[in-house]
Amino acid sequence: MGINNEELFSNLKSFFGFDNFKGEQEEISKNILAKRNTFVIMPTGGGKSMCYQLPAIISEGTAIVISPLIALMKNQVDQIRAFGGDDSIAHFLNSSLNKAETLQVKADLVAGKTKLLYVAPESFAKQENVDFLKSLKISFFAIDEAHCISEWGHDFRPEYRKIKQIVSSVGENLPIIALTATATPKVQQDIIKNLQMTDADLFKSSFNRTNLFYEIRPKKDILKDIIKFIKKHDGKSGIIYCLSRKKVEEVAENLNLNGIKALPYHAGLESKVRAETQDKFLMEDVNVIVATIAFGMGIDKPDVRFVIHHDIPKSMEGYYQETGRAGRDGGEGVCLAFYAQKDVDKLTKFLKDKSVSEREIGTQILKEVIDYAESGVCRRKQILHYFGEKYDEKDCKCMCDNCKKTATYFEAESQLLSLLKLVDKVGDKFDDLHLLNIFLGLETAQTIAYKHQNLPEFGQGKLDGELLWKSVVRQAILLDFLVKDIENYGLLSLTQKGRDFIDNSHPIKFILNTLIEDFSTEDDENEKQVSSAVDMTLMLLLKELRKKTAEKLSVQPSIIFQEPSLEEMCINYPTSMDELTQISGVGKGKALKFGKPFIDLIAKYVEENDIDRPIDFVIKSQANKSALKISIIQNIDRKISLEDIAKSKGITYNEILNEVEAIVNSGTKLNLTYFVDEMIDEDRQEEVFDYFRTAENDSIDLALSVLGESDYTIEDIQLMKIKFTSDLGN
């Protein structure tokens, strides 16, 4: 299709409202309109969607967009409809639609009204949909999140491997545009090979997101750190990623307990709940979404101001894509990740259940994340190096924690020379761990198998220590003295630069890695200073108020509040009754009796003097129910009646039923036969079991109305439902 510049810009302005293209959008759009296969690698926030949306609006027929995220489809369709035209201009086709909605989508497509159709790969693969698409005039196929094709991508999806085969069956010689925000050279090759688009024109933007600040912190008091961070960024939108659904729920609940509007988002929630959560986030009814990393968010929100990783991510691609959801509008974006060895151990344990090849791939990918987290070098330089892009950390402008703090340098010439000579001697058959073991003098199965304990280098770096040698290896790779073949077990080999250094070494300084456990943030330092600094001006004002209050009531001043309590007020600045009750020596009664004039005085003082309060000095947490849960399970094992267990715990029979139901619903099998037999006769048990076997839902109220309130109590039905779930579901 021939289209001139004037027509292209006219459509850009009239439909999308933009005067100019961003980056390579214009060239990409022209390439697609020329019916050429196109491969686009563009960071999150770079404007990938526009690259296929504009050509789709201009082209004759319907563009088919294959996307793995149902949540993102709805969001993008809503956005396109909002630009102009009627609702039929864009549709999505996936499992969230009912029959009537699906028929309407197909009617609009047949009528030629729809320019963009978003489909999930699973829907795309259904034969009935393939047959239907064959009857349409299709302009081109756009494959979003194309990295899902590759096993080396962070979000591999087997159904993506079948896309090319289905595309070919729908229509021969239709152009394909593949788009991704994250692709290493290996992943790029996989995408091109699988989609059979070796003739594709490649458009690759820089991976550098200059507005993002990267930081890694040790995982110590993580809930407190997260709440403190969010309150410091009050009113701003953010996403917190966790590894498990359980952790997502727990973190979201704790945030709400501490006055932060947050909602959980994971694959275990009903699709309706997920859609409502997404809308609330987009409409700013909630500020924070807590989500599982594995499921992903897929929310196109430009003003996300922070992304927090509660758990260290599984891969650099995943980390880059998730952090890329911050600051998509070019504004502030803070990317904070928490790191702990136990998280690494957990991820390593997950890999043990995989096949040998998957385990090897997963191990190498995870190792890159660990090296990134532990390194003292500019975070941005490391991210860009991973994606094959060079970067001078001098350009960082202190936009990461490593560049912000004072680095510790060491003379590295001799260690670097020893490392490079060793790689030259043993060949490119070993990874960094093996080379480190040689220098540190550690006998492993591999060092013994290759007789490397006999090398003169064996143990030569013992005195320098592991931290220094890890720093040397990491920076030798970052500075291109060595190259790591991640796709081939992480084997290291010499580059030409490395060979030149062996021939002509020179003084060179490297940055020493920082032990994660030793990290201290600026906030930690501020907190230490605040915690030891009593505001003496406020102290005098509070003492004066205490004196006046005591005189009015004819009591000693210490009866009102004791000196240590006043000192704590002058450190933490409580401005609400709830905060005041957290001050040592101030109970609810004393706070209600004497507190109001004191918190009013403190609030006025804070406002007038622009005090930066340590607002997170108390973090509310959920009551620990694990002890009760264990006790209930143990007592049921001992065949103690639920009524007796309830009495011993000081709770009602209804409460014990709810606790037991929660235990069973979480997957624990309990043998309740002894108690059920005592409460309900055998015939009635069978009747209830028969009902639940055929019932369309597990509503207790519905079961009671069907089975008869004269024969059963609601507690009987709940008890039988618990037994049914435990016996047949766990």
3-state secondary structure string across 604-669: HHHHHCCCCCCCCCCCCCCCCCHHHHHHHHHHHHCCCCHHHHHHHHCCCHHHHHHHHHHHHHCCCC
Question: Residue 526 above 60 pLDDT?
Answer: no
Q: Around Cβ 464, how many Cβ atoms within 10 Å?
A: 16
pLDDT at 529 over 50: no
Round to whole Å and give the CA distance between 208 and 708. 67
What's the alpha-carbon Rg for the chain, to the nearest Å? 31
pLDDT at 678 (0 to 100): 87
**Average per-residue pLDDT for the chain:** 86
Residue 413's Cβ-count burial label (10 Å; 0-12, 13-18, 19+) is middle
Q: Is the pLDDT of residue 528 over 50?
A: no
pLDDT of residue 34: 93
Q: Comparing C-alpha atoms, which of 384, 216, 300, 274 is closest to residue 48? A: 300
pLDDT above 80 (res 387)? yes
- 652 pLDDT above the threshold of 70: yes
Most confident of 136-145, 228-237, 562-571: 136-145
Contact 584, 617 (CB under 8 A): no
* Banded pLDDT at 659 (limits 50, 70, 90): confident
Q: Which residues of 548-558 are buried (b: 16+ CB within 10 A; e: fewer)?
A: ebbeeeeeebe
Show the tokens assigned to 491.
């084997």
For residue 2, pLDDT over 60 is answered with no
**CATH of span 626-729:** 1.10.10.1390
Q: What is the pLDDT of residue 297?
A: 53
Res. 522: pLDDT tops 50:
no
For domain 409-513, give its CATH number from 1.10.10.10, 2.70.70.10, 1.10.8.10, 3.40.50.2300.
1.10.10.10
> Residue 530 has what pLDDT?
41
Q: Helices 70-83 and 271-282 meet at what angle, rounded to 10?
A: 50
pLDDT tens, position by position, 314-347? 889 889 989 988 998 888 999 999 999 888 888 8
In angstroms, the CA 426 to CA 720 distance is: 68
CATH of 5-204, one of 3.90.440.10, 3.90.550.10, 3.40.50.300, 3.30.70.980: 3.40.50.300
Whose CA is closest to 526, among 434, 430, 614? 614
CA–chain centroid gap for 407, Å, is 29
Domain 212-404: CATH class, spelled out? alpha beta
8 Å CB contact between 63 and 138: yes
Quote the distance between the C-alpha of residue 657 and its chain's center.
Answer: 35
The strand pairing partners of 213, in sequence order, are 334
Terminal Cα-to-Cα distance of the chain (whole angstroms): 60
pLDDT of residue 666: 56
pLDDT band at 525 (very low <50, low <70, confident <90, very high): very low
Mean predicted confidence (pLDDT) in 527-536: 59
Residue in this structure with the two tokens 């024969």, named with its chain if needed: 711
pLDDT at 501: 97
pLDDT one-digit tens code per residue, 218-234: 998 899 899 999 988 98
Model confidence at 515, in pLDDT bands (50, 70, 90)?
confident
Q: How confident is the model at residue 266 (pLDDT cuts 50, 70, 90)?
A: confident
State the helix-helix crossing angle for 714-729 and 682-694, rounded to 10 degrees. 70
Between 409 and 152, residue with greater pLDDT: 409
Whether pLDDT at 3 is above 70:
no
The reply to whether 5-204 and 409-513 are identical in fold is: no
Please state the domain extents for the chain.
5-204, 212-404, 409-513, 533-608, 626-729
The backbone torsions φ and ψ at residue 201, rounded to the nearest 5 degrees and listed phi first, read: -85, 130
**What's the pLDDT score for residue 264?**
94
Residue with tokens 């997502």: 248
Nearest to 314 by CA among 289, 336, 292: 292
Annotate 505-531 with b (16+ C-beta within 10 A) or e (fewer).
eeebebbbbbebeebebeeeeeeeebe
Average confidence (pLDDT) over 610-636: 69
Exposure string of 81-112, with b = 16+ CB inside 10 Å and e = fewer, is eeeeeeebbbbbbbebeeeeebeebbebbeee
CATH architecture of 533-608: Orthogonal Bundle (1.10)
* Secondary structure letter of residue 400 according to DSSP: B
Strands 509-511 and 138-143: unpaired
